[in-house]
Amino acid sequence: MTKNAITWIREDFRIEDNPALSYATQNHENVLALYIYNKNDFDNKREAQKWWLSKSLETFRSELSKYKINLEILAGDELDVFSKIKKRDDFSIYWNKIYEPDVIAKGKKIRDTFLKNEIQFKYFKGNILNEFQEVTKNDGTPFKVFTPFWRNAEQKYLGLPPSKNYIVKKKNKMISFFKKCIEPKNILPKENWYKKFEDYWKVSENDSKKILNNLIDNKIKEYGVARDYPSIEGTSRLSPYIKHGQIHVSTIWKKCNDTKSKGIGYRKYVNELGWREFSHSLINYFPEFLKGNYRKEFDKFPWVKNEKFLKAWKSGMTGYPIVDAGMRELYETGWMHNRIRMVVGSFLVKHLRINWTEGEKHFRNCLLDFNKANNVAQWQWVAGCGADAAPYFRIFNPILQGEKFDKEGLYVKKWVPELNKVPNKFIHKPWEMETKYQQAIKTIIGKDYPQPIVIHEKARASALEAFQSLKKN
């Protein structure tokens, strides 16, 4: 066994339930934590996440220092960095897995490099309940539908022995190794649009635990209903912390299981964890899922290219208040309420008939909680071209969705303040107000707020016609 160890940090910015970090500290005299910032994974793709990553590195470095563990940050390619470590450097290397096909492929190359250079290494289960290979049908084939998948996966996890208590042992001294390290601030996006994120998020392992405790103590009982109303804090808001590994899903699971409120709220929330597991299974068994339509008949779908409409959608200027509120919330906070994600997604692919890949790309760039598996799966679900997708004729009516889940327009008025004086009767269809009334409240539709860029009824009919065309081909 070597004297020194490197724990390769990726999406596991936590002390608790971190098997790689725990193993390193338990078995080696000195431990160094390493994060490798690969610009190719972020630049012009995941700009919002640069802010969360920078904050994660900053807070996690501080936490690690309490254990006499130094965190070094390098900019470069992971394979290049690791190829320079030699046997004489006296390091063993440990990491927790990430379940994405391209990451797995690169991991194999890295392992081959370690074997060639005679570097000891070990990797551990990542931030997931069951590894995707563990949940299959009786004949060994993967599930393609959520409900039977999750029924099987949940029972599989419940049948496992209690998870190990991963203790991180404090070391005697901090060590350094790498040269030309960078600081967390070097990772921040160049544009300062992320500045407002700080008003909405605190980024640390401790903050994730506070949010989880609040979910269990105050939210989970009503979660089944409250989660649908964007004007109230009815969702967990844990997703960015899960994505970056400030908290492990097993920690959430155990906390949920300990609650006495195991009603519909508990079930609905636990099912959300299940969808995350299902999405990871899909992209690993069907990696083509990440690059195009799972249902190949949609390759012939008559999508419309309209840059003007796409820009209006991205900027929250479609003329449909609930859609615009969601898109503005996304840009300002790096997050969007889950029901609203479905509404804005449906609007893009069905009202505007713009390819879902454009929406997926925009969400990838703007979401703090962007998760490759979840994002693609959700967009294909709403587009109707994915596994276990909603029937295509299920087209979310943005007016009715607003009237049902934001009856008093509180959510809309928060994010679309130019509509603050519009009465509730018209808040989700302000174009129906008489001109004289618009003048009275100084909110002119077409001037102070845009007219709808499409008419719902016509757009719906056009979408259904386009869907029917698939059956003729």
Q: Which residues are catalytic?
A: 272, 275, 303, 338, 356, 379
Q: Do the beta carbons of residue 7 and residue 33 sit within 8 Å?
A: yes
Residue 101 burial (C-beta neighbours within 10 Å; 0-12, 13-18, 19+): middle
Q: How far is CA 216 from the centre of its chain?
A: 21
- Token pair 């300062």: residue: 192
123 strand-pairing partners: 95
Query: Residue 301's CB: how many other CB atoms inside 10 A?
Result: 21
Helix (H) or strand (E) holding 35: strand 30-37
d(CA 328, CA 189): 19
| Joined tokens for residue 440 | 């009275």
Integer distance in angstroms from the first to the last C-alpha of the chain?
63
Q: What is the CA radius of gyration of the chain?
A: 24
Which residues fall within 8 angstroms of residue 259, CB to CB, at 6 or more apart?
Answer: 216, 220, 266
Collapsed DSSP state (helix, strand, coil) of residue 71: strand
HSE of 421, CA atoms in CB hemisphere, 13 A: 13
Residue 70 CB coordination number (10 Å): 20
Q: Which residues are CB-contacts of 307 (< 8 A; sequence separation ≥ 6)?
A: none
